[in-house]
Amino acid sequence: MKAGSFEISGVHVEPGQRVGIDLPVARLYTHTSLAMPVQVVHGKLQGPCLFVSAAIHGDELNGVEVIRRLLQQAALKRLRGTLIAIPIVNIHGFLDRSRYLPDRRDLNRNFPGSGKGSLAARIAKLFMTEVVARCGYGIDLHTGAIHRENIPQIRANMDDAETERLARAFGVPVLINSTLRDGSLRMAAAERGVTMLLYEAGEALRFDEVSIRAGLKGVLNVMRELGMLPARKRKTTGLKPPLIARSSFWVRASESGILRTLVPLGTRVAKGGLLAVIADPFGEAEIEVRARHEGIVIGRIQLPLVHQGEALYHLAQFTHTERAARSVEVFQEVINPDPTAYDDEPEPPIQ
Ligand SMILES: [Zn+2]
């Protein structure tokens, strides 16, 4: 069935059109006006409305690049339904290269927001009114915090069957059943009946090619699953089915010191396995950091300077750890950022 006109912020987008819209946010105190740029791709045929957002934490950049590549896809010419792409939600934070807004508020703790509250609350309200209210589905792209890297993973409410279906379709090996956090976009969206995934990969203020590729593939896979894009001709991706983590835990520094990490992301670690060593600068006191349970490394610190109590390694636990480890291994081989390994992707990898 043919689509009708799509309205956002007073702009009408006709079927088959792609339109850039600037949603006005609070101007800078230099009197410079500021806007959240949004691109709407409205398909000729009816279908679901999906938003894909990034940089709600202003220093999380991989998702910005995922969206840039997404919008270059030739397949969007055959889009059914509507894609709303918001590469930079937290404009102020992005300019400051900061996770937060200028008043140190975390935008992702201020949803659904209000028109009379803090700057964060007002931006949240704008996003809810202009974007979320028009969509049935959403994917919010994140990275680890500053100096922390995450293996590509989906965090979503797997107790909801529709969410689980899309999380599995995304196609990363690790799925985390994550409860909704108060004030988050995900919670506000869920309360309005919008099915949402949160993708986490890589590190703040960095581009990571594996994370970007996996994110782009994931968004496209979800769009295929929703019938927004034609199904793949080649069914086999080589990937193993993703597994939902049973739980996850952090390994913290028992002492302050200089850290040498020994285990990369994706490693399967046995109970008691050695993860890292903390030493003083003279190399006199050496403290081993060990895993207290078996698990797979899904996040880790990148900065070798740690205080006592600091979170060093994030490990996920699975019912079938070997299967999960194998899934991660195959995934890392398939999403290899080697230009010769990928002939169907036009993008040269970011090294
Ligand atoms: Zn984030």
For the range 229-238, what are the long-range contacts, defined as Cβ-Cβ under 8 Å and sequence gap of 24 or more? 229/75, 229/76, 229/78, 229/79, 229/80, 230/75, 230/78, 237/171, 237/334, 238/330, 238/334
Q: What is the pLDDT of residue 342?
A: 55
From 34-43, 106-115, 138-147, 327-336, the region with the lowest mean pLDDT: 327-336
In angstroms, what is the span from residue 147 Cα to ligand 1's centroid? Answer: 13
From 186-195, 268-277, 315-324, 338-347, the region with the lowest mean pLDDT: 338-347
Q: Which amino acid is at 296?
A: I
In angstroms, what is the span from residue 217 Cα to ligand 1's centroid? Answer: 20
In angstroms, what is the span from residue 249 Cα to ligand 1's centroid? Answer: 19
In angstroms, what is the span from residue 91 Cα to ligand 1's centroid? Answer: 14
CA-CA distance, 208 to 62, in Å (whole number)? Answer: 7
In angstroms, what is the span from residue 306 Cα to ligand 1's centroid? Answer: 22
Mean pLDDT across the stretch 113-117?
A: 96
Assess whether pLDDT exceeds 90 at residue 288: yes
Residue 331 in contact with residue 239, Cβ under 8 Å? yes
pLDDT band at 339 (very low <50, low <70, confident <90, very high): low
Mean pLDDT across the stretch 276-292?
A: 94
Q: What is the pLDDT of residue 162?
A: 96
In angstroms, what is the span from residue 24 Cα to ligand 1's centroid? Answer: 23
In angstroms, what is the span from residue 55 Cα to ligand 1's centroid? Answer: 7
Q: What is the mean pLDDT of the chain?
A: 94
Mean pLDDT across the stretch 303-310?
A: 97
pTM of the model: 0.95
In angstroms, what is the span from residue 282 Cα to ligand 1's centroid? Answer: 36
Assess whether pLDDT exceeds 70 at residue 31: yes
Assess whether pLDDT exceeds 70 at residue 258: yes
Cβ of 98: how many Cβ atoms within 10 Å? 18
pLDDT band at 343 (very low <50, low <70, confident <90, very high): low
In angstroms, what is the span from residue 185 Cα to ligand 1's centroid? Answer: 11
Cβ of 265: how many Cβ atoms within 10 Å? 21
In angstroms, what is the span from residue 309 Cα to ligand 1's centroid? Answer: 22
pLDDT (tens digit per residue) in 80-112:
999 999 999 999 999 999 999 999 999 999 999
- Nearest by Cα to 296 from 123, 198, 173: 173
